[in-house]
Structure 1
């Protein structure tokens, strides 16, 4: 029926538009009001952590390396999972095309093999993006593991800022890789039809909103801890001078 075929051309773009609008709003909030998002608050927390580790690297060097090693292991796990799923999808698509099978008749709103190819290609693209982002995350984490153990002083703000910036870049790439996994869920449900895909886009945007934003209590607690840290640093710098 024409109505079933038109569902892919109506619900799928609407679902992707909802996801695009949400992530555009999230990017704008991160750039303009970072403390309203978990990503922004975590970036400031990592900056404080680097400052605390590098001001006494002889004492905190082992702790810094172990912490970064855990992040490398998490990125490695996601990268391995992404490339494994990409390989499985490629093998499945190639075997299906060679056997000449078409999509199942149980899939509602899918009557074209071209649409089926677009579905699998979209999922494959998400996993490839997740793999590349996690590889870049491993690259930055490995670089920070060397820099974080270099002895420095409180006065050398440039070196500490450089290490914190690289650590945040690695974390941002890890967040992008994880976000690609999130986006793959509605694309995977698209195999079963455009209706589950559209519903998943709505639910995913709703859930991600609560995962990405912070409450007023969290912002107030983080701001208080940040001010306490800054006052402690001022006292230490005054004593050392």
Structure 2
């Protein structure tokens, strides 16, 4: 059987998509098993620490958190609009006579109407799924906005952290779908450019997704007060450090204090609850 250029699409296109899918499965495994070695996991861990710091009840922290979330919502809605616009444009090309555009261009591969139609449908599907992912990202950001802006809120920090992490994950999914749409766009120039773009894209994404920066050890919910003049009656001879871990109030001498006082010294440690 004679080999023709139409067979390039049957070999190189599935091979390129298999390379892209295999890399993203490997990336998901690394995010779940070793999150600190990936940029996605590193961002999620930093977001968890950021939310915990913002939820400490300081009004200035609340306004800053709302401003940051509002900026992220704006970017998510902008990318959702771009994805929807591009999908509408591709849908218009599919339904018009200009879908035969690439028949007049030299393309090393299959240029039959069915292949061109599949090419457009793949790009359309990628942009539509990216639109859905960015909308879901904006949805979870709005949910976190409601949690943080609730007056006198006793919402658990884990609820806000979960919303922020899901928003970041959907954001990453939307970006990956746009990358797939770019690969399908190279398919319009032939199977060989499409396969080469898959290989280059995987190498580029591996460089961007790898993280070698160690995670910063955040000190959360802890107020350190250096004790210079005050001496506890049971430790008059020691000069130590008073560490106040507080959950419900700001001063350790308030009657409704629900935290703990920990006195750390060079020679003795006294704990009172």
Is the pair's TM-score, using the shorter chain for normalization, greater than 0.5? Answer: yes
Give the Cα separation in 2 of the matches to 1:84 and 1:75: 14
TM-score (norm 2): 0.78
Divergent runs of 4+, >3 A: 99-102, 150-153, 230-236
CA displacement at 1:146 relative to structure 2: 1.2
TM-score (norm 1): 0.88
Conserved? CA contact 1:57–1:151, under 8 Å: no
Equivalent residue number for residue 245 of structure 2: 237
Give the Cα separation in 2 of the matches to 1:127 and 1:114: 20
The higher relative CO (CA closer than 8 Å, separation ≥ 6) is in 1
Structure richer in helix, relative to its length: 1
Give the Cα separation in 1 of the matches to 2:7 and 2:65: 55
CA distance change for structure 1 residues 152 and 211 in 2, over 3 Å: closer, same or farther? farther
Structure richer in strand, relative to its length: 2
- 1:1-241 paired onto structure 2 within 5 Å: 2-96=3-97, 103-150=103-150, 159-215=156-212, 218-219=213-214, 222=215, 225-226=216-217, 228-230=218-220, 232=222, 235-237=243-245, 240-241=259-260
Unaligned runs of 5+ in 1: none
**Aligned with 1:214: secondary structure?**
coil
Conserved? CA contact 1:30–1:40, under 8 Å: yes
Task: Give the RMSD, CA atoms, in angstroms.
Answer: 2.2
Give the Cα separation in 2 of the matches to 1:129 and 1:236: 49
CA distance change for structure 1 residues 7 and 107 in 2, over 3 Å: closer, same or farther? same
CA displacement at 1:230 relative to structure 2: 4.8
Unaligned runs of 5+ in 2: 225-242, 247-251, 253-258, 261-273
Report the number of matched residues. 230
Conserved? CA contact 2:52–2:220, under 8 Å: no
